[in-house]
């Protein structure tokens, strides 16, 4: 019962359920703001609420209500942060890999569709989570102590898989170079975290300050500059029926939820790292299909060349027939048969050309479907990671996000430490209350995300996209300057330059995630 965990201690609400819903609304609004505004992380609100908790208690709030607001904010953020990643190219840590597939759909007039798929992916992760909660909790309760010593090797394996997605030795070498450049940048940036501590330290966590100039430069500013130089514009939304295959949608939710649930228990591994794992398997299937299409294309070209040779041979035979006027009628009929055969082969060649064009159309559709599946997967990962990060706190007593860190601090200060035993008195009840908070927040966030995505198109489609790009660049620069001071601006500039490397070397931008992977890997190997 809710009253058993002191929800009735809130003087603002006479009914505990009313108090719960009100806290969900507050957290949902905070997450809406942090998700839509580039550079503002959910940890900013988590630290703010955690720091001001004693003040909030004087207004009738309790540790449980404040924790509920923080949790609702974290979940709401995972829904809404897709919008700036798609429409502005300004991602957060969890949406860094969504910029390219989201931008592709945006320029095709399907930006709202991408947002809708993202919302469905996040909602699907919440609905699927009860199915895998118990198996995941039991597994990591016993396996976590044995996995920790090998975490560096696990990250190394992820790096190898990421580089392996590139085609050819030269591309793999270029991808490794991009990974290493981003990794070294991240290593030195985290080393300067004291220098880039926000002057607004009361509102901002140090880690968020480090990641903001890094990710804003690598994935935000570099993408905005490219958009500015290419003179692209946000097109009108296409009024079309969604043709995304259900099997790919289900696969995206399953793989995203399971992957996000898994990495939520692993220290130093964020949603972005989980996205690399899922992205590898999605990209692998895509590459196999592309290779198959290339083989069919080459085969069609060979058949066309063979047909041309046969046609030339037929023309030679026809000339020879004209010169030999004394041939018999049987030989003349034979020549006519060969001519008819050549016509049939020509028609066959036309059919092969049409087949080739159809395969090209199918390839473009498959490319779009892969982008949609990737968006669903990453969104499911982000939300599942937030949800199972809470479960990890209740099962093994470890925190994996700024929101859960704040919740733990609030509960500990109130004498309500979890002590890694969800079955202890009050803990199970508290977990169910938190999960109800997640369900309610997910319900609200699903509709608000779709609505915001539709409105974003209406607002931005008639605005010069170059002006939007330069405005976002200025906004990011000002935000970095205000929040991280001089060292943050230096990191932002360096990150922007490194962000151009994948474009110049023509490799995937996912290799830039070395900015997080590399420093964490060094830490687990004892070198950081």
Name the nearest CA neighbour of 275 among 513, 35, 502: 513
Q: Answer whether 27's CB lies under 8 Å from 442's CB.
A: no
Per-residue model confidence (pLDDT) at position 279: 60
Per-residue model confidence (pLDDT) at position 205: 41
> Domain-by-domain residue ranges, the chain?
8-232+246-322+329-524
Per-residue model confidence (pLDDT) at position 213: 83
Per DSSP, the residues of 341-395 read HHHHHHHHHHHHHHHHHHHHHHHHHHHHHHHHHHHHHHHHHHHHHHHHHHHHHHH
Per-residue model confidence (pLDDT) at position 507: 86
Query: Across the 528 residues of the chain, what is the mean pLDDT of every consecutive 10-residue run?
Result: 46 65 92 78 74 79 89 94 80 68 77 91 94 89 83 85 84 93 92 62 48 79 76 63 79 90 77 66 50 49 56 59 56 60 60 50 68 88 91 84 84 76 68 92 96 82 71 81 81 92 85 86 83
Burial of 268 (0-12, 13-18, 19+ CB in 10 A): middle
Distance of CA 499 to CAs 50, 99, 217, Å?
Answer: 34, 13, 7
Q: For 194-253, how does the pLDDT look when each residue is reduced to its tens digit (9 = 90+)?
A: 666 555 444 444 344 577 788 778 877 887 787 677 665 566 666 665 677 888 889 989
Distance of CA 17 to CAs 23, 68, 432, Å?
Answer: 10, 12, 14
CA 492/CA 39 separation, integer angstroms: 12
pTM beyond cutoff 0.85: no
CA 176/CA 186 separation, integer angstroms: 15
**SS3 breakdown of the chain: % helix, strand, coil, rounded to 5?**
80, 0, 20
């Amino acid at each position: 019962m809710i009253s058993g965990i002191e929800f009735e201690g809130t003087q603002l609400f006479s009914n505990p359920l009313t108090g719960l819903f009100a806290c969900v609304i507050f957290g949902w609004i905070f997450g809406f703001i942090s998700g839509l505004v580039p550079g503002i992380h959910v940890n900013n609100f988590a630290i703010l609420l955690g720091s001001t908790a004693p003040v909030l208690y004087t207004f009738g709030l309790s540790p449980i209500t404040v924790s509920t607001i923080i949790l609702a904010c974290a979940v709401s953020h995972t829904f809404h942060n897709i919008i700036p990643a798609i429409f502005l190219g300004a991602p957060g840590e969890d949406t860094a890999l969504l910029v390219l597939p989201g931008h592709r759909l945006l320029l095709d007039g399907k930006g709202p569709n991408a947002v809708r798929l993202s919302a469905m992916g996040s909602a699907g992760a919440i609905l699927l989570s009860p199915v895998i909660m118990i198996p995941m909790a039991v597994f990591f309760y016993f396996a976590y102590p044995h996995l920790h010593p090998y975490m560096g090797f696990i990250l190394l394996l992820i790096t190898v898989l990421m580089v392996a997605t590139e085609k050819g030795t030269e591309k793999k070498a270029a991808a490794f170079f991009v990974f290493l450049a981003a990794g070294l940048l991240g290593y030195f940036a985290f080393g300067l975290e004291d220098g880039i501590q926000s002057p607004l330290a009361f509102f901002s966590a140090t880690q968020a300050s480090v990641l903001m100039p890094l990710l804003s430069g690598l994935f935000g500013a570099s993408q905005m500059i490219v958009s500015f130089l290419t003179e692209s514009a946000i097109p009108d939304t296409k009024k079309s029926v969604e043709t995304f295959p259900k099997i790919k949608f289900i696969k995206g939710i399953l793989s995203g939820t399971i992957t996000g649930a898994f990495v939520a228990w692993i220290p130093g591994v964020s949603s972005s790292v989980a996205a690399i794992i899922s992205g590898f398997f999605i990209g692998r299937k895509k590459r196999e299909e592309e290779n198959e299409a290339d083989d069919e294309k080459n085969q069609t070209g060979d058949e066309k060349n063979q047909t041309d040779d046969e046609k030339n041979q037929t023309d030679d035979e026809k000339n020879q027939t004209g010169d030999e006027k004394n041939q018999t009628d049987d030989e003349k009929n034979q020549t006519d048969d060969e001519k008819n055969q050549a016509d049939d082969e020509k028609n066959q060649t036309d059919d092969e050309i049409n087949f080739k064009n159809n395969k090209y159309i199918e390839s473009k559709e498959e490319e779009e479907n892969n982008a949609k599946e990737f968006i669903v997967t990453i969104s499911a990962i982000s939300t599942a990671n937030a949800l199972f990060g809470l479960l990890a706190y209740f099962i093994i007593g470890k925190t994996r996000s700024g929101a859960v860190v704040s919740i733990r601090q609030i509960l500990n200060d109130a004498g309500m430490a979890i002590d890694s035993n969800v079955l202890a008195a009050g803990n199970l009840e508290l977990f169910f209350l938190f999960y109800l908070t997640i369900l309610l927040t997910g319900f609200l966030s699903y509709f608000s995300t779709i609505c915001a995505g539709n409105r974003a198109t209406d607002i931005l489609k008639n605005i010069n996209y170059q002006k939007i790009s330069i405005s976002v660049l200025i906004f990011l620069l000002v935000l970095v300057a205000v929040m991280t001071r001089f060292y943050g601006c230096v990191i932002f500039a360096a990150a922007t330059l490194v962000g151009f490397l994948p474009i110049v070397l023509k490799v995937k931008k996912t290799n830039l995630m070395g900015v997080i992977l590399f420093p964490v890997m060094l830490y687990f190997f004892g070198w950081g």
